[in-house]
Amino acid sequence: MASTCVVGLQWGDEAKGKIVDLLCDQHDAVVRYQGGANAGHTVVADGVTYKLSLIPTGILRPGTEGVIGNGVVIHPPALLKEIETLAAQGVEMGSRLHVSDRAHVILPYHMAEERLTEESASAADHLGTTRRGIGPCYKDKVGRVHGVRVGDLYHPERFREHIERIVAFKNRLLLAMLPDYEPIEAGAVAEEYLGYAERLRPYVRDTTTWLHHAIGQGKRLLFEGAQGSLLDVDHGSYPYVTSSNSSAAGIAAGSGIPTRHIDRWIGVVKAYTTRVGGGPFPTEQDNEVGERIRKVGREYGTVTGRPRRCGWFDAVAARYSARVSGSTEISLMLLDVLSGIPELQVAVAYEDESGRKVAEMPGHLSDLERCRPVYETLPGWDSDLTGVRTWSDLPVEARNYVAYLTKQIGVPVSIVSVGPERRQTIILGNDAPRV
């Protein structure tokens, strides 16, 4: 056993891509198990910025294989474009990319269906999604009748008939509900997707079997979560979540690999909190502090470019998601962004409007919306951290902040990141603060 998972413990964008990239050397394959092109990973290596969405970050290392598991939803033109963009940057997939034949396919009507709710007259229906058709595709997956899997694209006659029936249904629905809807032509969509399938053919296989063989050969797998645990459809801030199990709970279902094969469970958090899209965010700072974090941390969505909502570190939320995702160690990201803020606040509990303490993350939206954070204030530091490479070189206030978060989350910090580059990383050993 030497497999690892790297999962975000907040609302996504925790800079997981950098940690996955750092750990690639110690693993043979990186596996995506949920989500789709709603995810965005930015990796900076040797001054070159790579943006990945569907393709596992591991592909940037020449010897590492990348697996897009059955739990992922795939928009074939997005995947092909990503393959081409990376090839233009000198990253060739060759036979290193493996795409599951059981993964579901995003089709043009999924984007239209997403508009039904995201552009509806009632703001209460807007979730602030990435508009990549993720939710509607997962709906069709669990609804079964209209689901299309990658493997279906290699049975053209059956696929054409299936698309004919689906598109007739979707057109009727969408014409009735969306005033500006242009009906989709089933034949054209079928041929377009059959064309994508030919181009993807070299990569498509039964990835579950492939992964089990890899384990049998002693290969080490790195499971890369997209989004964060608080966006998990079951365990996150429902309904303001994504449509998949983005916590570690999704690994077994989305890859076919039982989690007993994993022995390193890394939870990734930022030194503060961000969120894109709608939904409750108790520690949000819609003020100068939030503005400053957004500016210094360049907190704009990788996929949509939307400004991210920014706020203080929420230890109640991180404690909860570290439990759900089984984290045994924490990677603390973007600590450098907090330099120059005189006092830092950390939410250690919530209270409701009557001042009653709420120690745990509430499951219901109304309860979470009513929560106000109870803060502990810690002294900040002035100096720039981006050049620091060892724990002892961090200013004492920064070390105290990390030690405080360790105690609050209840899980040791093993990595502190002080910039986007691989080398801007502090690996903690015996010097790590105790829980």
The contact set with ligand IMP (CB under 6 A) reads 11-13, 38-40, 127-130, 132, 134-135, 226-227, 231, 240, 242-243, 276-277
Task: Find the catalytic residue in 21, 27, 28, 41.
Answer: 41
Which C-beta is closer to ligand IMP: that of 129 or that of 255? 129
Least Cα distance to 221 among 22, 10, 26, 420 occurs for 26
State how far the Cα of 39 lies from the Cα of 48, in Å rounded to an integer: 20
CB of 27 to ligand IMP, least distance (A): 22
Q: Which is nearer to ligand IMP, 3 or 237 (CB)?
A: 237
Q: Which residues pair with 307 in a beta bridge?
A: 300
Report, in Å, the least distance between residue 429 CB and ligand IMP.
31
- Write down the catalytic residue from 13, 140, 314, 336: 13
Name the residue number minimizing CB distance to ligand IMP. 277
Q: How far is the CB of 128 from ligand IMP (least distance, A)?
A: 5
- Across 33-72, the runs of DSSP E, i.e. the strands, are 41-45, 48-52, 65-68
Closer to ligand IMP at the Cβ: 74 or 153? Answer: 74
Q: Which is nearer to ligand IMP, 213 or 306 (CB)?
A: 306
Residue (12 or 71) nearer to ligand IMP, CB:
12
CB < 8 Å & 24+ apart, contacts of 367-370? 368/237, 368/280, 368/282, 369/280
Q: Residue 138: enclosing H or E segment and its boundaries? A: helix 134-143
Burial degree of 55 (CB within 10 A; 0-12, 13-18, 19+): buried
Q: How far is the CB of 308 from ligand IMP (least distance, A)?
A: 8
Check if 13 is active-site.
yes
Q: How far is the CB of 225 from ligand IMP (least distance, A)?
A: 10
Rounded Cα distance between 267 and 354, Å, is 33
Contacts of 431 (CB under 8 A, 6+ apart): 391, 392
DSSP, res 122 = -
Known catalytic residues are 13, 41
